[in-house]
Amino acid sequence: MVIEIDFNSDEAIYVQLMNQIILGIATSRLQEGDTLPSVRQMADTIGINMHTVNKAYTLLKQEGFVSIDRRRGAVVAIDVDKIKALEEMKQNLVVALAKGCCKEVSRQEVHQLIDEIFDDYDL
């Protein structure tokens, strides 16, 4: 899996890394049981600090996308707590939709955008 980090972005590097891994899972480039590179390997590959990778992996674990095993490292292990996932999604969408409303984005445009995004996922 290729991780693309934008070092000029205002978004924190650990957040970008987390999002890339989540997108990899959603698009089936990463499967349940796949082992992620070690913290050191990931840091060396991307050219970032090991603590940044560790923070991303820890948050991915807290959010139920990976499990951490001392022998295997970070392993994709999806926590299927759908109610929790829907609540988190709602919180994120409230702000995103408010921004869209301020820019006069229509309901139809939002639905079309969501459909386009969902088409990329293997559901």
Q: Which helix (H) or strand (E) holds 117?
A: helix 107-118
**Residues 62, 20 share a domain:** yes
Phi/psi for 76 (5° steps) reads: -65, 120
CA–CA separation, 57 and 117 (whole Å): 25
Query: Token pair of 19, please?
Result: 């999002």
**Residues 55, 105 share a domain:** no
**Residues 93, 59 share a domain:** no
24 dihedral zone (left: phi>0; alpha: psi -120 to 50; beta): alpha
pLDDT at 105 (0 to 100): 96
CATH number of the domain at 40, please.
1.10.10.10
How confident is the prediction along the chain (123 residues), in pLDDT tens digits per residue?
Answer: 789 999 999 999 999 999 999 999 988 899 999 999 999 999 999 999 999 999 999 999 999 999 998 888 999 998 778 788 888 899 999 999 999 999 999 999 999 999 999 898 866
Q: What sections of the chain are H helices per DSSP?
A: 13-26, 39-46, 50-62, 82-102, 107-118
**Quick check: 78 and 64 in contact, CB under 8 A?**
yes
pLDDT at 102 (0 to 100): 96
